[in-house]
Amino acid sequence: LSLSPRSCHSNAADAERAAAAPGPLPAFQFRPRHGSPDWRRLSAVDVERVAGELDVAALQEHLGHVTFCSAERLRCPHCRGPADPLLLKLVRLAQLSIEYLLHCQQHLGAQLQGREQALRAADAQLEQGGKEAARRAQEMKLLKEECRRRKKMISTQQVMLEARASYHQCQFCDKAFMNYSFLQSHMQRRHKEESHTAEQKKKAQTDKLQDEIDKLKEQLQLTKSLLEAEQQAHMARFSKEHEHQRSKEEEILQSFHKWKEEEKERLADEIEKVKEMFMKEFKELATKNTALENQLLELQKSNMQLKSNLGTLKDSHEFTEERPQNDQDYQNMMQLLEKQVVL
């Protein structure tokens, strides 16, 4: 619970006003008196001494006895007659006054005790308010220092930005330095424990990373050996498969050459057969051509000067002049057939 100084002062003022204001007296009633005075105790009291020394303790000791004793049965010590009524009235009034004063004393004592408690509470509140004020003053002082530090940092950053210079930032606070040596000095001066802890953490992380690197190296070496073994096995299997493939290719190539020779022989036989067939047909055509020429000569002889719908017939000597050209065509055709057979 935080209290401001103004509220503490107001509470203290309220307590003082409550203590100064007189409260109403409680209900009061005089007590009856039955006991007789203790003359021995009264005779032992030296009234002059009590008055001279202001012995309040002696008065308090006999106050209750004197106030609440009965004085109605007082007798004269000489004549043993009843006491003077005026004297009895005086004693009676004195007793009633003392009883009322005792009641007022008790009431004032109770009020005084309450006021003392209120005063102690006000003092406690005042002390708490003072502590709160001191705390607020300390916070205000810290805030002012923080504001000054931030202003200085902002001005430094503005200068750095305007100068476009590189700076070194502290990793534990907001300060920055133009030189790395200044940063190291600041770390040793202000953040020695933090830097030591950071170095230990960094060293632990470095050791951990080194262990992980060593483990990875071992795993890499193991993987490399496994890969080399697999590569050797693969190379052996590949060489074996290559040999098998090469043997198959050689067999296929031999089969192909054999098939090629067989096909070549078969084609040569077929070409020879075709050549013979063409020669046979050519001879037959030559025979038919010769027969037709003979028939034509006979017709020409029988009809020397006759004309027909087919045109003018020629003599044999004219036909013999055209025959050498037919022989030349025949020779050319034979050469062409021989070339085709060779191909």
pLDDT category of residue 310 using cuts at 50, 70 and 90: very low
DSSP assignment, residue 174? S
User: Pick the residue with more confidence: 128 or 42?
Assistant: 128
**DSSP characters over 30-94:** PPP--BPP-HHHHHH--HHHHHHHT-HHHHHHHHHHHHSB--TT-B-TTT-PBPPHHHHHHHHHH
Q: Where are the domains of the chain?
A: 5-34+70-148, 157-191
Q: Is the pLDDT reported for residue 309 higher than 60?
A: no
- Residues 65/38, Cβ–Cβ less than 8 Å: yes
Q: Is the pLDDT reported for residue 330 higher than 70?
A: no
Residue ranges with strand state E in the chain: 168-169, 176-177, 307-308, 311-312
23-50: per-residue pLDDT in tens? Answer: 555 677 777 776 667 777 777 777 788 7
Residue carrying the six token digits 């004297």: 87
- Token reading at 297: 């000569």
Protein fold of 157-191: Double Stranded RNA Binding Domain (3.30.160)
pTM exceeding 0.75: no
Q: Is the pLDDT reported for residue 271 higher than 60?
A: yes
235-259: per-residue pLDDT in tens? Answer: 888 888 888 888 888 889 888 888 9
Q: Is the pLDDT reported for residue 98 higher than 50?
A: yes
- Token reading at 105: 């004393």
* For residues 91-120, average pLDDT: 86
Q: Is the pLDDT reported for residue 138 higher than 90?
A: yes
Among residues of the chain, what percentage have pLDDT more than 90? 10
